[in-house]
A and B are shown apart, each in its own frame.
Chain A
Amino acid sequence: MHWVFEPGFFSSEPVHVALVIGGIAAVVSAVVGVFTVLRGQSFAGHALTDVSTAGGSGALLVGISPLLGFVGFGLLGAGAMDAIGVQRVRGRDLATGIVLGAATGLAALFLFLDTTSGATTGATQQILFGSIFTLDPSEIPIVVVFSIVAVGMIAALYRPLLLASTDTDLAAARGVPVRLVALGFMAALAVAVGLSALAIGAILSTALLIGPAATALRLTNRIGAALVAAVVIGVGVTWLGVLLSYDSYYWVSDQNAVPVSSLIVGLVFVAYLLSGLPAIRRLTGRRTVMVVTEAEEARLRGQRVSSRAAVRSDGDSPRSRRVL
């Protein structure tokens, strides 16, 4: 045990806070992330992280908690993207990019003012790459409140959101207010991004949002199982990252720990790569199912099914998922 958990891991208060806040952020990000990946909105999710970077650095400038800045700006950014047309597929990528670019410019300005005003040292590093070991325990209640709000919104929207995410036209035909659902989802996304920005840093928070969810959706095509798998993977990599970073302090002679956020991102990437291994895919039986459904669906839609398309599809295109 001793060389897995280096001395003091379980008795250290910063570690407790890191495990609690990191765990909560991972759960919320994983749940919201599954829908983000299903909806093909990874770019929007990432753009929100850059918007919340501006929020976090702005919050430091006026001296409030970065979490409020992350979430506040995230909500504004979600509204802005909706207003300039992120919902339409055509031009959506461009509209997202513009919001992202403008927000990063703002982040550059705020961080510049943070560092030149001298009120906060290490602002760039703290906001962008996080510092989970220096979080204040008094943040925990507000983190819990935000996470309940985000997960609650997803739970309340669950059925219409799922329908709108897999087949927008069908959802609209059945009377689901698609635009409203999308807006509600973007709000939940903004909160999730804010929480994960607090844990692993604003520009890395995409990792917790997209990584576990994309990994889970490669392992299973049942939405419930995917949600559970994403949460387990998300919390697993976060805690493992905290542990490894803590331990790494003892590995190298110069007592310089590896940044915890980088370790978490690295583990997320490894998990994603592993889920693509044929052996693991065979284990979950995902691939065979998807090839059949995609081919079937194409035939139903009266499209020409080329053998190449059938072979190539490994179930990752949004079309192929029939959860209804």
Chain B
Amino acid sequence: MFSSFMTNAWIVATIVAPVAGVVGFFVVLRGAAFPAHAIPNSAFAGAAAANVFGFSALLGLGAFAAAAAFGIATLGRRGRNDAVTALILVLGLAIGAVFLSSSSEYEPQLYSLLFGEVLGVSTTELWPVAGLALGCIVATLFLYRPLLLASTVPDVAEARGVSRYGMELAFLLVLAAATAMTVPVVGALLIFSLMIGPPAAARALTDRPPLAIVLSVCIALVTVWVAIASSYQTNWPIGFFVGAFGAFDYGVGRVWAAGRRSRTVRKRGREGDAPIDPSMVMA
């Protein structure tokens, strides 16, 4: 499992997971699951183009992901955000299908681009991926306060001079960068699971944003590692395991949150009966 041809897979997965965890936290907070699903799918067209015309996949992915982010933010500003998102998503997939239809290795390429190919990562791609990952995390930390404000109370944020459109566009562009680096690893369709499952679980575990982000990164790491190991053992596609474990994370989070709610209610009930402790009030 740790033999030399697997080394790159482990390294890339370890780089990808923290990005998915950090960016995914805001995806869940903003309710931006649909754009988070649409951007990787549109980026698929870029990877297909790169395959056919022979330029770097990262470049193609980045260009199409950024175009999709821009399209969703701009067209969605006036009009139905979700309908526009859906249309941009299928447009990207359709363009990708046109590119790949002229390729001789249509079928295997299609599959690996959509569902991921961990073993397909070459050593030369590691550095750009690491650079982009660092860029995404730095950008998210840089945007942290205004983005948190705009995501939770958009009206207050706007009153304080945080532009709603600007924040949306900035966030979607970070999402696009994160997408560009993750598509070759887990595939266009399944980065999404990594961006939704672990952060959703983390948010169920804690209400404090910084702690939630850290937890989300940890859960994403474990999810991806277990997925690679399972994929190696069973020879089944990694995408299946990422999807299944992502849903599992979410399920655990839901159960935990339900348990926490009932615990809080019981605790409050007990505290209500007890006399108020003066030292607590002073503190």
Contacts and interface: CB of A to CB of B under 8 A. Distances in A.
B247 A204 contact: no
B279 interface: no
A67 interface: no
A97 B79 contact: no
A105 interface: yes
Interface string B1-33: 000000000000000000000000000100111
A34 B247 CA distance: 30
A269 B87 contact: yes
B87 A101 contact: no
Report the contact-size class of chain A (Cβ under 8 Å from the partner). Answer: 35 or more
A125 B106 contact: yes
B246 A272 contact: no
A272 B41 CA distance: 19
Contacts of B250: 94, 98
A259 B101 contact: yes
A20 interface: no
The B contact surface, by secondary structure, is helix
Contacts of A45: 86
B34 interface: yes
Interface of A: 37, 40-43, 45-46, 50, 84, 93-94, 96-109, 111-112, 115, 121-122, 124-125, 128-129, 203-204, 206-207, 209-211, 213-214, 217-218, 256, 258-259, 261-262, 265-266, 268-269, 272, 276, 312, 314, 316-317
11 contacts: A43-B86, A45-B86, A50-B189, A94-B28, A97-B37, A102-B243, A105-B190, A124-B111, A214-B83, A256-B102, A276-B78
Ranked 9 nearest A-B pairs via Cβ = A105-B243, A101-B193, A108-B239, A265-B94, A97-B33, A214-B83, A102-B247, A109-B240, A42-B82
Interface of B: 28, 31-34, 36-37, 41, 75, 78-80, 82-87, 89-91, 93-95, 97-98, 101-102, 106-107, 110-111, 114-116, 187, 189-190, 192-193, 196-197, 200, 236-237, 239-244, 246-247, 250, 254
